[in-house]
Structure 1
Amino acid sequence: MTHPEAGAASIQGEEPSPTDASDGRAPAVSNPRRALAVVIGVVFIDLVGFGIVIPILPFYVRSLGVSDAFIGLLAASYSLAQFLAAPTLGRLSDRIGRRPVLLASLAAAGVAWVAFGYAGESGARFGTVAALVTLFASRTFAGAMGGNIAAAQAYVADITPRDRRAGALGLVGAAFALGFVFGPAIGGLLAADPVVARADALLPSFVPATPYSLPSFAAAGMSFLAVAVGFLFLEEPKRTRPVSDAAPGSPIPPRRTVVGQFREAISSVALRPLTVAYFVVAVAFAGVQVMFIPFVADSFGYDATAAALLLTYVGVLGVINQGVLVGRLSRVIPSRTLVAGGGVILGGALVAIPLTGVIDRLAGDVTLGGPAWFTLPLVALLVALAGLSLGNALVNVSLATLVSGAASDAEQGAAFGVTQGASSLGRTVGPPVMAVLYTVAVAAPFLLGALLLAPVVAAFARREESSGDRTGPAT
């Protein structure tokens, strides 16, 4: 491995990256393919655990007899904690190693989910305030530990040649998508009355068996399983580590506070547009994340089961797009172009989604034949969601690839920590804004999201290509 200055030089095209397979140097781990599979598996297990609790969150809060406003606050607490913690965990992984940060954060998340499951018990013994404090404390702590995605992305960057990082980072995105496909389904199953009754008969009396505790404990179990897998099979990569507080050539110097790291990122020519883009895209996408289920309920009359099927459809498409398609496209198309093109597709999908609710009135008496549920509005919605999934995959994977190319090899974790923190901040700010807009006009959050993407598309469409922009083989 080389000193951090070499990473910056390689961004300018002066020499190949230390992790490139073509440079004749030893790989960062003994078996890169196995290491990539293990870290992706760890991310998948972790995200399944996170997804398990999603279906129960609103009902858990309502079971305490408090306002629905606490649902939004509870959701925001996770993203805010992740925003604050991601840069720190990414920086810490640069200094002490990817493996210890990943394993420790996963174990701590498991403890947080256990506490989350006991919130109902604390409420029964000490009152509603105690239950809310337990919920918020555990959810916030779990969010902070969820900042470990920066360390996972940096690990992938450590063990993958630069010309293949888009595909590898896409696999991390696919693991996310799979986690959100399987996690909510498992959570819904564990919250079912027959499962709760069976668990109540089998578990000891000090373990509460409720529709809210069982998914929480399952999430904890998935986190602990990820720790075990990582402990047995995850190898710490060999890499260059920061050696001073002012490493020359590094976009973000080590040992900064969260505010300082963001200040350095914004002042960096390489990282500034990427950090801003992560934030803007997260805010723009918040309209779909928060208001999609209310939209299909209000406009299509769908219940929770039908909405869940649509989310599964989007999740499956996300796996294909992020795990296969984006990696192949990145070999022939510069990442900056993929960001711009993905932004156009994503913006078009955001505009199309509210139109699907009125397309039957616009199209008149057009019928498609087949079963009664197979309607023109549904087909239009499925097409719009396909565009949404593709655009989101192109933007997020390509942005991650550009982040990797903009940072030296010693600062991968710090760079990913800052940009993931910006994304978490966007997911904290966006949902309450989009929810308020939805009460004013159904189409408002979707149209605002498309409008916010316009400057991102313009910025990346006009950026001059650098050696770090192209993720495929040099031509």
Structure 2
Amino acid sequence: MSSRRQFYALYLARFAAGFGIATVSILLPFYVETLRASDFMAGLFYTAFTLVQTLAVVPLAYWGDSGDKRRVLLACLALGVLTYAVFGFVASTTGVLVARGFQGVLATGMGLLTLGMVGELATGATRANHIGKANASRFAASILGMFSAAVLYQTSGFAAAYVPVVVLFFATFLAVLAVLDPDDTRVPGFPFSDLALNRRILTLTSFRAPYAVAVTLTRSWLALFAGVTAARGGLGYAPIVVTLVLTSEKFTNMLCQPFTGRLSDRFGRSLFVFAGGLTYGVVALLVPFTPAIGDALGVPTSFPYLGELSAAFLPLVLLNGLLGVADSVREPASMALFADEGSDGDGVASSFGIRELVWRPGSVLAPLLGGWAWSAYGMDSVFYIGGASAVLAALLFLAVLAYSHGPRALTEW
């Protein structure tokens, strides 16, 4: 089967995964309200997903590297059909909690296997470009999934909102079954043990661990900054306005990743990791200043269908879009570097598994840090911590890169 058709099948799988996650993320607050979930149970809806994701990394990566990745991907797609069908009809908080657990397994498996197979199909000279295209399909799905879920739920309820997701997963299952060749790569032993001590992966870890704090804080609190009342440090925008703000990051990320991935294949992937991380940190530091920027520039404050908004709206949309551009510089290059280390027979799924595990501590601890900083020092302090963490991650990566691999490694990787 031609490699182009196989890439398209994997891009479709990435699209399905992103569409499903976006649908649930939009509808979770309505589950909390409809089922009258307690604050503790509402928190468990998010914790269960993250916890199961973390627990699923090692077994799914091992299963993929030791067996047929295509078969494991098909199993994940079948699980997706069942999981999202269940979401449409759950009638209790326990049901949502169980469905979220299965969704955590699904999200981890789809991510590891699609990226692993894209990394193996691509050549070393085109790997970041193909990963960028796969990520772009995921961001497109996130945007469409958010609006689809919001419209269908508002007009027809939970069950109708999940019909497109179930149909999409079923169609993707058929496409992967028909188009994707069986995977004959077999990695003996336990690849995690060798890759965990890989010098390049350790170097990338020096960036990824602190950068996880930066991204988690910035993405999470940007939504809060846009939506909560001025009394709590926010702008108090309506839900549709918050959605427009948040999707600007996904839109620019989607547009740029194929292009930035191709550039990083040509000019050095580690350079793009450094530049993207540093830029992300600088832009994040500017978020609290959007009201002042809007006032200084005299931007419009009245918009069709949206009504009167503060002067911070357009600067916030612009800055969030720039965060998407910055992350598009970093993400395909970073993923390609991890794929490089696993695609020579060392276990590409396990390499991406390590990438996921390195992210988890920061993504779990960052909300706690952000909540404390918000209560103690105000909303602005969260963005200062997030921005500083990204700048620190970039500078630490540069220092470790030069020390461990020489001063030319920034453009040679």
TM-score, shorter chain, exceeding 0.5: yes
Matched, 1:115 2:121: no
Q: 1:223 aligns with which of 147, 169, 172?
A: 169
Aligned counterpart in structure 2 of residue 143 of structure 1, from 104, 110, 118: 104
1:315 matched residue in structure 2: 250
Matched, 1:296 2:226: yes
Residue aligning to 1:453: 390
Q: Provide the TM-score with structure 2 as the length reference.
A: 0.87
Instruction: Tell me by how many angstroms 1:375 deviates.
Output: 7.0
SS of equivalent to 1:357: helix
With a CA cutoff of 8 Å and minimum separation of 6, indicate the structure with the bigger relative contact order. Answer: 1
8 Å CA contact 1:265, 1:275 repeated in 2: no
Deviations 1:44-103 (A, max 9, x none): 022112211221101201222233343333123212211221232222111111111111
Q: Which one of the candidate residues 134, 147, 150 is aligned to 2:95?
A: 134
In 1, Cα distance between equivalents of 2:183 and 2:171? 21
Deviation at 1:469, TM superposition (A): 7.2
Change in 2 beyond 3 A, CA 1:413/1:391: same
Kindly tell me the number of residue pairs found equivalent between the two proteins.
Answer: 397
Per the alignment, residue 242 of structure 1 pairs with 187
Decide whether aligned partners of structure 1 residues 222 and 403 sit closer, same or farther in structure 2, where only a CA change above 3 A counts: same
- Residue 425 (structure 1) shift: 4.7
Instruction: Find the residue that maps to 2:138 and give its secondary structure.
Output: helix
Deviation at 1:420, TM superposition (A): 2.1
| Aligned counterparts of 2:65 and 2:10: Cα–Cα separation in 1 | 16
Residue of structure 2 in register with 1:184 after alignment: 146
How far apart are the structure 2 equivalents of 1:36 and 1:468?
30
1:50 to 13, 21, 37: 21
In structure 1, give the amino acid aligned to 2:254. Answer: V
Look up the match of 1:207.
none
**Amino acid in structure 2 at the alignment position of 1:342:** G
Change (3 A) 1:275 1:370: closer
Distance 2:167 2:388 in 1: 41
- From the CA coordinates, give the structure whose radius of gyration is larger: 1
Which residue is 1:163 aligned to?
125
Contact 2:126 2:262 in 1 (8 A): no
Structure 1 residues 218 and 351 mapped into 2: Cα distance closer, same or farther (>3 Å)?
A: same
Aligned mates of 2:369, 2:42 — CA distance in 1: 15
Q: CA deviation at 1:436?
A: 4.2
Conservation of the 8 A alpha-carbon contact between 1:83 and 1:423: no
CA contact (8 A) 1:45 1:222 kept: yes
Residue 84 (1) aligns with residue 51 (2)? no
Coordinate RMSD, CA, aligned: 2.6
**How far apart, CA to CA, are the structure 2 residues paired with 1:317 and 1:162?**
26
Distance 2:88 2:33 in 1: 15
2:187 alignment partner, SS class: coil
Distance 1:405 1:154 in 2: 10
Per residue, is there more helix in 1 or in 2? 2
**TM-score between the two structures when normalised by the length of structure 1:** 0.77
1:80 touches 1:425 (CA, 8 Å); kept in 2?
A: no
> More displaced, 288-297 or 457-466?
457-466
Give distance in 1, aligned partners of 2:136 and 2:257: 5
Per-residue deviation at 1:237?
A: 4.2
| Counterpart code for 2:393 | V
**Farther-moved stretch of structure 1 (287-296 vs 161-170):** 287-296
For 1:104 and 1:311, locate their aligned partners in 2 and report how far apart those are by CA, in whole Å: 32
Query: 5 Å matches for 1:245-284?
Result: 245=189, 253-254=190-191, 261=192, 265-284=195-214
Q: Paired residue for 1:428?
A: 364
1:351-390 superposed matches below 5 A: 351-360=285-294, 363=296, 366-368=297-299, 377-390=312-325
How far has the Cα of 1:302 moved from its partner? 1.5
CA distance in 1, matches of 2:300, 2:36: 46
Q: State the alpha-carbon separation in 2 of the partners of residues 58 and 302 from structure 1.
A: 17
Report if aligned partners of 1:39, 1:230 keep a CA contact under 8 Å in 2.
yes
Distance between the aligned counterparts of 1:147 and 1:289, measured in 2? Answer: 20
Unaligned runs of 5+ in 1: 1-29, 121-130, 197-210, 246-252, 255-260
Secondary structure at the aligned position of 1:184 is classed as: helix
Specify the code of the residue in structure 2 equivalent to 1:177: F
